[in-house]
Amino acid sequence: MKVVIASDHGGFRLKQEIIKHLESKNIQYEDYGTYSDESVDYPDFGEKLGEAVASGKFDRGIVICGTGIGISISANKIPGVRAALCHDCFSAKASREHNNANVLALGERVIGVELAKMIVDIWLETEFLGGRHERRVGKIGAIEEKYRR
Ligand code: RB5
């Protein structure tokens, strides 16, 4: 599985921890920045990562900002992106099983590193269930088509 990860300055330290964790598990990843804790704008990183996932270059993406909110809203503007902000294990599992989330969003200022690593593991390991959930996810795509300009 090919993973891409990105953050703003508010998520930079957690991104570095998650990268170490991915490396310890031999998970292939690309780091789309930011590369320091200097102030940047989260939409730039949500957009860049969202485009890379929607294009099929990567199977999954992980975005991190202070809350996980701004960067997930930004990534979700890209058609084909289903970014889920998950700060608990149940949501991480459900976002894969029910929503086929292809981007996981985390907030560095909200959760601790160990919980974040556990959420990442569950989210990367869990498969989409399909079935009735396929129809619902299909309807999300139909909404994107309806409003596409
Ligand atoms: C940056 O200060 C902060 O606003 C950002 O990381 C994020 O929390 C926005 O949603």
Q: Identify the CATH number of the domain in which residue 7 sits.
A: 3.40.1400.10
Residue range 68-89: mean pLDDT, rounded:
98
Could you list the residue range(s) of the whole structural domain that residue 126 is in?
2-147
3-state class (DSSP) for residue 14: helix
pLDDT score at 136: 98
Task: For residue 86, indicate whether it is catalytic.
Answer: no
Cα of 42 vs centre of ligand 1, distance in Å, is 7
Cα Rg for the chain, rounded, in angstroms? Answer: 14
From the list 55, 105, 98, 41, the residue with the least C-alpha distance to 76 is 105
Structure tokens at 25: 């598990």
Residue range 105-121: mean pLDDT, rounded:
98
Question: How many other CB atoms are there within 10 angstroms of residue 106's CB atom?
Answer: 28
Task: For residue 98, indicate whether it is catalytic.
Answer: yes
Residue range 72-92: mean pLDDT, rounded:
98
Supply the residue whose CA is at minimum distance from atom 8 of ligand 1. 66
State the chain's mean pLDDT as an integer.
Answer: 98
Residue range 103-119: mean pLDDT, rounded:
98
pTM above threshold 0.95: yes
Q: How many domains does the chain have?
A: 1
pLDDT score at 149: 84
Whether pLDDT at 1 is above 90:
yes
Residue range 90-95: mean pLDDT, rounded:
98
Write the pLDDT tens digit of every residue in 29-68.
999 999 999 999 999 999 999 999 999 999 999 999 999 9
